[in-house]
Amino acid sequence: MTARAGGLRVVQVLLAERLFDGERVLNDIPVSINADGRVAAIGGDVPASGAERLPGTLAPGLIDVQVNGGGGALLNNEPTLASLQKMAGAHAGFGTTGMLPTLITDEVEVMQRAADAISTALRKKIPGIIGVHFEGPHLSTPKKGTHEARFIRGLSQAELDIYARDDLGVKVVTLAPENVALEDIRKLVSLGVHVCLGHSNADGATTAAALEAGASGFTHLYNAMSPFQSREPGVVGTALISDDAWCGLIVDGHHVCADAIRLALKAKPRGKLILVTDAMSLVGSEETSFPLFERVVTREGDKLTSTTGELAGSHLDMIGAVRNIRDWCDVPLEEALRMASLYPATFLSVEGGRLAVGAPADMILLDSELQVRRTWISGREVHSI
């Protein structure tokens, strides 16, 4: 198809039974995609050559800020381009069109290899890879969770050199504010890093000071952070009362209970809660266990547990998170989709979360059971069942 809309060559027209454009639901509406992989038009006449009919709901693609692995690959174990391709391909099957591959606390050499792989993926335009999330190593040992204590350390020039790179796309660093100086948080922000607070035992004052210095988010709210108490808000309380800060939520039924999610929904302004997976390598894989440093992580049902007893990431995917928060917390579907698309896009200052003229054609097709039937990234179909 070679029609034109708005002066741009249209290569595809899709007739959506329902379209959720990020704000509203429209019925029986054509969506035109141009040769640049962007939305050329929404609505208008269906061309004489026809359009492909899409039964179900066409919606913006989902954006995952925290994904450790997928398709049998774990970034820490294999910080390579091949791993990134496996991860992106696996998660595309669950609606993820943009992801931050996440490296948890590790040696600086592994961080460098992961950064090089991310740079290569971006240069080669691997669909779905938009940047990198370094979760650690500047964390609190008492709140380390499944992170390896021997690799936890302060911020040195070696890590700063990695964070300063301008070939990594979107950059997120999770740190514990009690272990990183305020001037270093300001430095990270000046380097274009989105600083998140997590794996922290800080008090409320220290946490608030980090936000004042430029930190803008909290990694997996409630988990691995000092709790709210009557005389001390801790990291959790400060996160809940900080209107400008974004908070990630792992809605898998193991990390956070439904009532804690409801409290966050009441406390935080609309748009400041985002769904994340914290997914490990088993998502999109038939495997049931994998090595993590000197331990083994095993899946029982949809729960991942390390041999040392703690939760070790999740077996969650993004569309599963959307279904869960809708079903468990009575969040309307449209808002649940925004929490997985528009709001993380806003947090990361990237395009996404809306299907509008000029926007990237990053889209998913959902059936009546909220299963992902098809996924497009920049107008190119990368998943279909």
Task: Give the residue among 228, 190, 235 at the shortest CA–CA distance from 208.
Answer: 235
CA gap 16, 57 in Å, rounded:
7
Marked catalytic residue, from 21, 203, 252, 278: 278
Q: How far apart, in whole angstroms, are the C-alpha atoms of residue 237 and residue 136? A: 22
Residue pointed to by tokens 């039964």 = 55
β-pairing, 96-104 vs 303-306, is: unpaired
Q: What is the DSSP string of 6-36?
A: TTEEEEEEEEEEEEE-SS-EEEEEEEEEETT
The dihedral through the CA atoms of 319, 94, 71, 151 has a sign that is negative
What letter would DSSP give residue 219?
S
- Give catalytic status of residue 45 as yes or no: no
Identify which of 31, 30, 12 has the alpha carbon closest to the alpha carbon of residue 3.
12
Please return the burial class of 120, using the count of CB atoms within 10 Å of its CB with bins 0-12, 13-18 and 19+.
middle
Indicate which residues carry an active-site annotation.
278
